[in-house]
Amino acid sequence: MIDFDSVSRLYGDRPAVADVSLRVGTGEIAVIVGTSGSGKTTLLRMVNRLVEPSSGRILIGGRDNRTLPAHALRRGIGYAIQGHGLFPHRTVAENIATVPSLLGWDAKRISARVDELLSLFHLDPALFRDRMPHQLSGGQQQRIGVARALAAEPPVLLMDEPFGALDPIIREKAQEDLLAIQKAYGTTIILVTHDMDEALHLGTRIGVMDAGRLVQYDVPHAIVAAPATDFVRSLLGAGDRAFHLLSLSTVEEMIESGEAPGAAIPADMSMRAALSESLWSRREALPVAKDGRVIGRVTRAALERRGAGPQ
């Protein structure tokens, strides 16, 4: 869907992005992780040409993104930024309608789309349509920012630290919303963050940027199991690797038959949470339930084996 082909961007002599090639498949979430100054935001902004590459090219759906005028290209790409960037002089509905009205949708279609998106983000349209951005909480503003980015049903969505300004509980909720919406629309997403936990949670693939270079681009499992450089290892946090690995899978794939005492855990619980529950409740094995029925058990010993690194 999106191909970066030897893309570089120089500021003076200093490369902000140096020779990056990567491919994001249709319907995938590619998360670009890096420290500040690593070039991750510059890389993202070259997709919709807020920044032009110094060399290399970017293909979207096989077409060079410079074949269209910048403004026309951008209307087909959703963009959500940290701190939302809502227009302070426009109502919630007007903000969400920005791209559809630039595309010349008729008023009825726009209004229906605004209500649909507000409902999707759990905001009552009757209550929120006519509010001004400053009347919203931080979490609500962030949701409107994402709703605005999705308004014209773009096949591609770019997100620059979209959850950075949110407190942990609201952030987790926003991440779940994003995953649900991505599933519903099949949108291809490139998301930039400095938070490796967020990357592991959301990413189909994770790209790690260091000083303008893409040092590793792979599925989360591979990133955790085999970090390509010390920098990737340090982003993962030396002490948490086993838990990162466990958090990537659910217990469903390791259910074994047998009995176990106490309350059952759901089959879609992460292995990490299951291990924690096993330790906390002092049970060597936990019953697993799916659709309200106990279908087997997981043992602490099996969980420990899954968390072991390569020998």
Q: Please report how close the Cβ of residue 68 comes to another protein at its closest, in angstroms.
A: 10
Distance separating alpha carbons of residues 17 and 209, to the nearest angstrom = 9
Residues with Cβ < 8 Å from 50, sequence gap 6 or more?
none
Distance separating alpha carbons of residues 129 and 93, to the nearest angstrom = 5
| Longest CA–CA separation in the chain, Å | 66
Q: Is 97 in the site for another protein (CB under 8 A)?
A: no
Pairing of strands 29-33, 188-193: parallel
Q: Is 48 in the site for another protein (CB under 8 A)?
A: yes
How many residues of this chain bind another protein (CB under 8 A)? 23
Question: Of 14-22, 98-106, 113-121, 218-226, which part binds another protein (CB under 8 A)?
Answer: 98-106
Backbone angles phi, psi at 222, to 5 degrees: -65, -35
Q: Is 142 in the site for another protein (CB under 8 A)?
A: no
Do the beta carbons of residue 248 and residue 221 sit within 8 Å? Answer: yes
Site for another protein in 167-206 (CB under 8 A): none
Q: Is 164 in the site for another protein (CB under 8 A)?
A: no
Site for another protein in 223-262 (CB under 8 A): none
Exactly one of 14, 52, 87, 219 binds another protein (CB under 8 A); that residue is: 87
Distance separating alpha carbons of residues 174 and 228, to the nearest angstrom = 30
Exactly one of 9, 40, 143, 148 binds another protein (CB under 8 A); that residue is: 148
Exactly one of 4, 79, 128, 231 binds another protein (CB under 8 A); that residue is: 79
Q: Please report how close the Cβ of residue 102 comes to another protein at its closest, in angstroms.
A: 6
Label residue 27 left, alpha or beta by phi (over 0 means left) and psi (-120 to 50 means alpha): left
**Residues of this chain that bind another protein (CB under 8 A):** 48, 50, 71-76, 79, 81, 83, 85-89, 98-99, 102, 132-134, 148
